[in-house]
């Protein structure tokens, strides 16, 4: 029996490099003669620019060049729309994408206006202070509801309103269903802005080699191939002249898939223009305003149920904050719309949203990408219904689960990938049962909690459920190649930001070729190594790139067997792959290493026969027809101090199903990180804007991330229903940890503070907000 690699808890291949400081990050790229860029960013959320005077700054020693919008000439144009509007009937969509440098008007605080290039970042920052800009402040559009009033100040005057989009999607007939309802619950829910706060900020280094006619760009992007294509197009180069490298990246989480950031457009251009390498590394102060945000929705939602708690229908009308521009189309809002349906059999659904421009940082997907808001709405509605109908909260969920025989389950509305929202597979009850069992739900509710309450302790439990649409198209590709050393090379176009691709991708190949995982070298994110691809987003790396790798590895395996069969003059079915060797069964001396075999596949004499290729390599592509749906349950026990409203999480459990698991260790890491971000999003992190559109907490002193003391030990459990949509049967898991934490907090905190009559209808919370809610302020 050959050693198994797929599905094993294998330690990460990349860690020795990363932990000994050998990983290359963008800021490690240090080139001779390099210039450093810094940007004047608008201090106002909304203002006219009357004039810009850079003359004094140009005098400063060490300043090489300064550019305003007007200096960019034809190169100045709005960025591309990344995701076009979905094919939904009667959709309204007003396209507005960011510009490289603000020209006549600034639309959010932090928007770049002037680019300075100097011999060092210090000098560049000194020069920023020399630049004089005459602003005429305008009223800032901050509040979502006021923004859509007819008398509101306009951000993009040419549209005639602040409406970015309006979308209605329906399934069945909610109004008709509501007529038979035993209970209708209606509430307003809100979900405020937060940011991804990756440990590494963004950064770009660009170098133009004028002799070779080649541009090399190191970029903290999640989508190097798409950046390569776009840059070639913008700069008038062929794709083969541009190489984009996304090296090791300290966290992506979505904002690094945004394309094209202003700096991404400008830095390569100016490197060519000045014929000098240019570096821009975003600092944390910039990151808070210049890197995209997420969240920011208000839902007016209604649920209709029968007397047994079965959902008859859901009605939801919501406002979605896109910030000042909407380059990412409607992905976030579409995800919210889809996720209100959760893992429940809901036959009647009316969903309407208005995406609204505001004078805030641009909103694009961040881990969860709108799913959080939808899950919050449906899970809270179910909690409220359970209370009214006196049904246990786990039970009301169970009664509404889509049953295993209902898959594929069609939700009829259009999803973020523009395909109808069809769940491919799932089996939810076993997940719930395992959760209840492992968190000790019944014992806690019936025995422990009453005892604790009698002692005056405020300890609550929460149980919530979610689905995660993952692994959408269009496609990814990979090349697998046996090298003459016997090592195996795997290259793919996706970027990697800490997900463990160097290990999980290697495991897929190891399994097919029976080669040890640490004999496999994975390269991601270098467009010279692999030409085609889309990027790392929507929890799709393992599903889409993973399956492409698997397919390529299968072809290589065939080639190995064919060549070895010729070599040994033995039939293929008598050959066996193990430990990097091909052996003839029962003939121990008849064996050859894969390296040697690779040499034979590249003959220096004779001829490569027609119809065959040299080498033991293959390139394959994979594009699923639609996304694979993962699912899960989160549960938590939390203690609240009723006087200070400080919390302490005693237990946290995630039981989920992402299909076949490639590496449980890496999967746990994904879940843990997601939960940590979810906890931050639920209780600590909130981007606080004032009425002038100023961010009030743009530092880690005031934007509170949960620390190691605030994130508890997280237990995990796995159910497995294979996805029928890909040969490996995998589903994504990148966002699973982060999605349902908001409603989990709401439910568990209400439960803990059982002696107060209050409802939590908003996220994020903190001790102060909780105190206001319990004391009716």
Footprint of other proteins (CB under 8 A): 121-122, 125-126, 129, 283-285, 643-644, 646, 684, 688, 696-697, 701-702, 704, 706-707, 709-710, 766-768, 771-772, 775, 777
Instruction: Give the integer Cα–Cα distance in Å for 522 and 487.
Output: 11
**Minimum distance from CB of 540 to other proteins (Å)?**
34
Tally Cβ neighbours within 10 Å of residue 591: 17
**Minimum distance from CB of 512 to other proteins (Å)?**
46
Listed residue (23, 498, 26, 43) closest to 281, CA to CA: 26
Nearer to other proteins, 612 or 699 (CB): 699
Instruction: Give the integer Cα–Cα distance in Å for 615 and 217.
Output: 30
Half-sphere exposure of 419 (CA within 13 A, CB side): 17
Nearer to other proteins, 60 or 398 (CB): 60
**Minimum distance from CB of 284 to other proteins (Å)?**
7
Nearer to other proteins, 70 or 768 (CB): 768
**Minimum distance from CB of 646 to other proteins (Å)?**
7
**Minimum distance from CB of 684 to other proteins (Å)?**
7
3-state secondary structure at position 735: coil
Listed residue (374, 359, 338) closest to 86, CA to CA: 338
Nearer to other proteins, 484 or 767 (CB): 767
Instruction: Give the integer Cα–Cα distance in Å for 118 and 374.
Output: 46
- H runs (alpha helix) in 155-246: 174-179, 224-235
Instruction: Give the integer Cα–Cα distance in Å for 221 and 533.
Output: 13
Nearer to other proteins, 412 or 772 (CB): 772
Nearer to other proteins, 42 or 364 (CB): 42
Residue 290 parent element (H or E): helix 284-290
Nearer to other proteins, 253 or 684 (CB): 684
- H runs (alpha helix) in 663-740: 664-679
**Minimum distance from CB of 651 to other proteins (Å)?**
20
Half-sphere exposure of 444 (CA within 13 A, CB side): 22
SS (H, E, C) 204-219: EEEEEECCCCEEEEEE
Cross-strand pairs, 491: 479, 523
Nearer to other proteins, 211 or 777 (CB): 777
**Minimum distance from CB of 41 to other proteins (Å)?**
13
Nearer to other proteins, 134 or 702 (CB): 702
**Minimum distance from CB of 189 to other proteins (Å)?**
22
Instruction: Give the integer Cα–Cα distance in Å for 116 and 131.
Output: 10
Nearer to other proteins, 562 or 704 (CB): 704
Nearer to other proteins, 45 or 414 (CB): 45
**Minimum distance from CB of 699 to other proteins (Å)?**
8
Nearer to other proteins, 502 or 684 (CB): 684
- Residue spans of beta strands (DSSP E) within 331-419: 349-357, 409-414
CA torsion sign for 142, 146, 151, 155 is positive
Phi and psi of 301, rounded to 5°?
-120, 150
Instruction: Give the integer Cα–Cα distance in Å for 541 and 426.
Output: 20
**Minimum distance from CB of 394 to other proteins (Å)?**
31
CB-based contact 305:312 (threshold 8 Å): yes
Neighbouring residues of 568: CB distance < 8 A, sequence distance ≥ 6: 575, 582, 584, 590, 592
**Minimum distance from CB of 583 to other proteins (Å)?**
55
**Minimum distance from CB of 330 to other proteins (Å)?**
30
Nearer to other proteins, 176 or 688 (CB): 688
**Minimum distance from CB of 62 to other proteins (Å)?**
11
**Minimum distance from CB of 700 to other proteins (Å)?**
10
Instruction: Give the integer Cα–Cα distance in Å for 744 and 735.
Output: 16
Nearer to other proteins, 612 or 644 (CB): 644
Nearer to other proteins, 193 or 540 (CB): 193
* 668-698 as b/e: b if 16+ CB within 10 A: bbbbbbbbbbbbbbbbbbbbebeeebbbeeb
Determine what percent of the chain falls in helix, strand and coil, rounding each to the nearest 5: 30, 25, 40
3-state secondary structure at position 299: strand
**Minimum distance from CB of 644 to other proteins (Å)?**
5
Tally Cβ neighbours within 10 Å of residue 708: 6
Integer angstrom CA distances of residue 625 from 467, 479, 493, 657, 662: 19, 22, 20, 20, 21
**Minimum distance from CB of 130 to other proteins (Å)?**
12
CB-based contact 369:335 (threshold 8 Å): yes
Nearer to other proteins, 385 or 773 (CB): 773
Neighbouring residues of 244: CB distance < 8 A, sequence distance ≥ 6: 216, 217, 218, 219, 221, 224, 225, 227, 228, 231, 526, 527
């Amino acid at each position: 029996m050959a050693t198994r690699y797929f599905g094993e808890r294998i330690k990460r291949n990349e860690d020795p490099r990363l932990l000994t400081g050998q990983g290359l990050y963008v800021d490690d790229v240090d080139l001779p003669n390099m210039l450093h860029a810094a940007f004047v960013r608008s201090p106002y959320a909304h203002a006219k620019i009357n004039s810009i005077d850079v003359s004094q700054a140009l005098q400063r020693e060490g300043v090489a060049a300064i550019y305003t919008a007007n200096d960019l000439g034809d190169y100045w144009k709005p960025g591309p729309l990344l995701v076009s509007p979905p094919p939904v009937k009667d959709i309204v969509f007003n396209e507005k994408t960011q510009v490289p440098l603000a020209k006549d008007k600034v639309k959010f605080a932090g928007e770049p206006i002037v680019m300075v290039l100097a011999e060092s970042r210090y000098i560049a920052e000194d020069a920023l202070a020399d630049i004089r800009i005459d602003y005429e402040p305008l009223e800032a559009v901050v509040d979502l509801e006021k923004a859509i009033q007819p008398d509101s100040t306009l951000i993009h005057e040419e549209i005639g309103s602040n409406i970015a989009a309006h979308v209605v999607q329906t399934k069945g007939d909610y109004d008709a269903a509501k007529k038979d309802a035993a209970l209708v619950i209606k509430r307003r829910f809100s979900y405020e802005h937060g940011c991804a706060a990756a440990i590494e900020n963004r950064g770009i280094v660009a170098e133009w080699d004028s002799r070779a006619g080649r541009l090399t760009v190191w970029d903290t992007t999640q989508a190097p191939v798409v950046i390569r294509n776009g840059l070639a197009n913008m700069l008038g180069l062929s794709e083969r002249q541009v190489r984009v490298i996304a090296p090791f990246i300290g966290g992506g989480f979505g904002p690094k898939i945004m394309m094209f950031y202003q700096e991404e457009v400008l830095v390569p251009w100016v490197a060519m223009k000045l014929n000098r390498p240019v570096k821009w590394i975003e600092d944390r102060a910039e990151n808070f305003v210049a890197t995209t945000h997420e969240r920011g929705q208000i839902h007016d939602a209604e649920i209709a149920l029968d007397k047994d708690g079965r959902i008859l229908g859901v009605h939801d009308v919501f406002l979605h904050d896109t910030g000042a521009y909407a380059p990412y189309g409607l992905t976030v809002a579409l995800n919210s719309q889809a996720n209100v349906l959760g893992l429940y059999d809901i036959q009647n659904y009316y969903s309407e949203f208005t995406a609204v421009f505001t004078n805030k940082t641009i909103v694009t997907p961040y881990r969860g990408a709108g799913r959080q808001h939808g899950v919050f709405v449906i899970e809270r509605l179910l909690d409220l219904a359970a209370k009214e109908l006196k049904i246990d909260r786990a039970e009301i969920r169970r009664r509404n689960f889509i049953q295993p025989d209902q898959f594929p389950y069609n939700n009829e509305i259009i999803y973020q990938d523009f395909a109808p929202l069809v769940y491919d597979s799932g089996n939810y009850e076993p997940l719930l049962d395992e959760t209840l069992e492992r968190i000790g739900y019944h014992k806690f509710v019936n025995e422990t909690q009453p005892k604790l309450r009698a002692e005056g302790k405020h300890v609550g439990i929460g149980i919530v459920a979610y689905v995660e649409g993952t692994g959408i198209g269009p496609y990814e590709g990979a090349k697998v190649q046996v090298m003459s050393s016997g090592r195996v090379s795997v290259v793919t176009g996706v970027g990697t930001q800490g997900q463990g691709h160097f290990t999980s991708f290697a495991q897929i190949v190891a399994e097919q070729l029976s080669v040890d995982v640490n004999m496999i070298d994975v390269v991601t994110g270098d467009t010279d190594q692999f030409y085609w691809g889309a990027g790392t987003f929507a929890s799709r790396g393992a599903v889409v790139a993973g399956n492409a790798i698997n397919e390529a590895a299968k072809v290589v395996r065939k080639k190995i067997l064919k060549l070895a069969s010729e070599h040994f003059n033995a039939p293929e079915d008598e050959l066996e792959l193990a430990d990097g060797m091909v052996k003839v069964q029962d003939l121990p001396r008849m064996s050859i290493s894969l390296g040697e075999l690779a040499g034979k596949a590249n003959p220096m004499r004779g001829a490569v026969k027609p119809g065959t290729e040299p080498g033991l390599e293959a390139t394959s592509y994979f594009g699923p027809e639609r996304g694979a749906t993962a699912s899960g349950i989160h549960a938590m026990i939390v203690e609240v101090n009723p006087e200070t409203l400080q919390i302490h999480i005693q237990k946290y459990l995630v039981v989920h199903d992402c299909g076949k698991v490639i590496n449980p260790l890496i999967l746990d890491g994904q879940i843990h990180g997601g939960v940590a971000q979810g906890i931050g999003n639920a209780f600590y992190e909130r981007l606080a804007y004032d009425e002038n559109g100023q961010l009030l907490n743009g530092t880690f002193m005031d934007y509170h991330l949960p620390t190691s003391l605030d994130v508890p030990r997280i237990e995990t459990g796995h159910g497995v229903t294979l996805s029928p949509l890909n040969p490996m049967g995998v589903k994504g898991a990148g966002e699973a940890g982060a999605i349902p934490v908001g409603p989990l907090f709401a439910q568990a905190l209400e439960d803990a503070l059982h002696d107060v009559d209050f409802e939590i209808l908003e996220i994020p919370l903190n001790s102060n907000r909780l105190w206001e809610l319990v004391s009716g302020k």
